[in-house]
Chains A and B, each alone.
Chain A
């Protein structure tokens, strides 16, 4: 009976340990592509448009690395998930700002054309 109890305990510890090890591996695997993605985003327009988001993602990357170093699998996974979302936000912000910039440019172009149109109309009336 005692052996059975000890065996069950060992199995539980093993299962829990392997679960943590899986999460650590998952987090570790995700970290590299996320770091590469951040580098890529930082090289693009998001560096200007989403500076704050990129800085927050950088902080989260540090936290994920710290969680990995502390062998805290669940926290490391959460941090990688959070970083993924922060990078997506940075990209979305960049796209948003770019779209807004395009809108401003098009509106300016339209205003210019409308002025030209009015001028032509006035010239035609004379």
Chain B
């Protein structure tokens, strides 16, 4: 009886060890499927609202479903004998497709983010460009105004010089006018004196030669002595 138990125990141990070793060699597909599912849902949660990326996530889910179906269909001996080789190939392929589709989804999301950022930077660029243009225009008009101001200052200086010149000329003109008036007065006096002298000369011419001439001599003084 004890020997029989021992034999059964040995046989069971050998079978258990064999199946454990066999199981260790085999890929744990349920765990891989679960990991792929977690990875897919994690990525779906953080991929953002990019249609192309979301479409790839749907494709990954579809491949995952195919892997699950292939696994369920391919199990032998009520799940105790592992997977049929063709089912294993299909499960492995679909899991690989899931992994690669997730890579694609990540890439699509990154591209989408970059495109969004490019659009935002483009808007900012347009804004800064318009501001720069405005400032350049203002700078140009400021430069023009500065140039005009310089011209005005030069003109103002010139005007001041001309005004002082004019004042000077006016005073000179007044002096000349006063001089002229004085000279005209002298001319008038001299003209009167000339007329008086002419009248005296005429009168003396009419008097006979016997009359004494020396009386007219003191009146024949030159005009310069009359000043």
Contact = CB atoms under 8 A, between A and B. Distances in A.
A121 B93 CA distance: 62
Contact of A74 (B89, B100, B114): B89
Contacts, number: 78
Contacts of B118: 99, 102-103, 106
Contact of B135 (A86, A96, A114, A120): A120
B128 A110 contact: yes
Interface string B88-101: 01100100110011
Contacts of B110: 96, 99-100
Nearest to B142: A124
B86 interface: yes
B131 interface: yes
Contact of A110 (B114, B121, B138): B121
A89 B107 contact: yes
Interface string B106-142: 0110110011011001101100110110011011001
Contacts of B90: 74, 78
B44 interface: no
Nearest to B129: A113
A78 B117 contact: no
B114 A92 contact: no
A29 B133 CA distance: 59
A75 B88 CA distance: 12
A103 B117 contact: yes
A92 B135 contact: no
A89 B104 contact: yes
A96 B107 contact: yes
Given A75-B89, A78-B89, A85-B101, A103 B114 contact: yes
Contacts of A89: 100, 103-104, 107
A82 B89 CA distance: 13
Contacts of B138: 124
Interface string A89-100: 100110110011
Given A89-B100, A120-B135, A96 B111 contact: yes
A123 interface: yes
A116 interface: yes
A92 B107 contact: yes
12 contacts: A74-B89, A82-B100, A89-B100, A95-B107, A96-B108, A99-B110, A99-B114, A100-B114, A103-B118, A103-B121, A121-B135, A124-B135
What 3 A-B pairs are tightest by C-beta distance, nearest first? Answer: A99-B114, A120-B135, A96-B111
